[in-house]
A = this chain, B = another copy of it.
Amino acid sequence: MYSEKVMEHFMNPRNVGEIENADGVGQVGNPKCGDIMKMYLKIEDGIIVDVKFKTFGCGSAIATSSMATEMIMGKTIDEALSLTNRAVADALDGLPPVKMHCSVLAEQAVKSAIYDYAQKN
């Protein structure tokens, strides 16, 4: 049911945790399942230099968030804003259709954290 990459990121998620004094913090909820995701960004000169996430969400949410943090690390804000949940799912060699709603959590958390950063600056 799940690709090897999904299982690998689920078992060994990257960038789990919090960032103290983060420049942007996003928190989003998934209306489909009630799960919550929190995303922390450290931004210097318009570049995402660190990112961490925390979730109580399912394995697919963990795997997509882990992959999403890897995909935006070192990128500009504009590049991070253009990341779609579809691109993250593709990078994981796909998700079961019934689990695509979980990947939305990661995309929205990134956007929400950048929005929080923009409001503060």
Contact = CB atoms under 8 A, between A and B. Distances in A.
A57 interface: yes
A49 B70 CA distance: 43
Nearest to A59: B56
Contacts of A10: 56
| Number of identical monomers bound together in the oligomeric complex | 2
A74 to B, nearest CB: 29
Nearest to A2: B56
A106 to B, nearest CB: 14
Nearest to A56: B59
A57 B56 contact: no
Interface in A66-114: 96, 98-99, 101-102
19 contacts: A1-B36, A2-B56, A32-B32, A32-B33, A33-B33, A33-B35, A33-B58, A33-B101, A33-B102, A34-B96, A34-B98, A34-B99, A35-B58, A35-B59, A55-B59, A56-B58, A56-B60, A58-B58, A58-B61
